Amino acid sequence: MRRKVEGYIFDLDGVLTNTSEFHYLAWKRIAEELKIPFDRKINENLKGVSRHECLRILLGERNPDSSLFEELLARKNSYYRDYIKRITPKSLLPGALNILDCIREKGGRIAVASVSKNTDEVMTMLGIRGKFDVILDGYSVKKTKPEPEQFLLASKMLSIVPGCCVVFEDSSAGIEAAKRAGMLSVGIGSSKRLDSADLVFNGLDKIEFNSMLGKLERF
């Protein structure tokens, strides 16, 4: 029997808005200050994972004491928060408003599930809070992506079983979490990097909604 997709779960950073670039710039400053090699390739591993885990990845074998570790986390966040001051509704990525409207027209329910502890503020600055039935951020669960916990909580709060939910993600950690949650997944970005997703598009604006839905419901 064909499944009916009813729950739509969006990652925030890098899917609805380009804040992933601000995370990159903030980590780049930290890496420069610590004289640790860092580039966009390494940055791919930081996408979708918690701030704490990002710092662990960045530091590699280096093991600073906990007060320096905490200070670095706070410093990165203050750099990041400087960048996000410039967010306005115009910072939504192309296609974001359109897909949210298409989902509403079909009667679908919509969630944001982001690991970022700055989700609330970013959503408010984008002016899109009212478009979501559920908003989950980095405070909502203990185990973050690639663990499935946050997506499963979103499915519960939307009252839609995991098999009828689809996740939109730009990170491989997020695609893995969607798979582990038993959900459909749509990668947003390069198909090379996100090849385990059910479908991949180079941006929300590349999605033709009804055709995507037809494909998803045939899986």
Tokens of 29: 């400053």
Is there binding between residue 17 and ligand BG6 (CB under 6 A)?
A: no
Active site residue 13: yes
Is there binding between residue 137 and Mg ion (CB under 5 A)?
A: no
Nearest to 184 by CA among 9, 2, 1: 9
Q: What gap in Å lies between CA 62 and CA 46, rounded to an integer? A: 17
Kindly tell me which residue out of 9, 23, 162, 186 binds ligand BG6, with binding defined by CB under 6 A: 23
Kindly tell me which residue out of 14, 95, 108, 187 binds Mg ion, with binding defined by CB under 5 A: 14
Is there binding between residue 176 and ligand BG6 (CB under 6 A)?
A: no
Q: What gap in Å lies between CA 126 and CA 122, rounded to an integer? A: 6
Mapping DSSP to helix (H, G, I), strand (E, B) and coil, where does residue 97 land? helix
Kindly tell me which residue out of 7, 9, 11, 204 binds Mg ion, with binding defined by CB under 5 A: 11
Instruction: Give the start-end residues of each E strand in 121-188.
Output: 134-136, 165-169, 184-188
Q: What gap in Å lies between CA 155 and CA 8, rounded to an integer? A: 9
Q: Per CB under 6 A, which region of 108-116, 127-135, 155-163, 204-212 contacts ligand BG6? A: 108-116
Kindly tell me which residue out of 17, 116, 140, 172 binds ligand BG6, with binding defined by CB under 6 A: 116
Least gap, CB of 170 to ligand BG6 (angstroms):
8
Q: Would the CA dihedral through 120, 114, 84, 36 be positive or negative?
A: positive
Q: Which residue numbers are catalytic?
A: 11, 13
**Binding-site ranges for Mg ion (CB under 5 A):** 11, 13-14, 170-171
Binding footprint of ligand BG6 on the chain (CB under 6 A): 13, 20, 23, 46-51, 54, 77, 80, 114-118, 138, 171
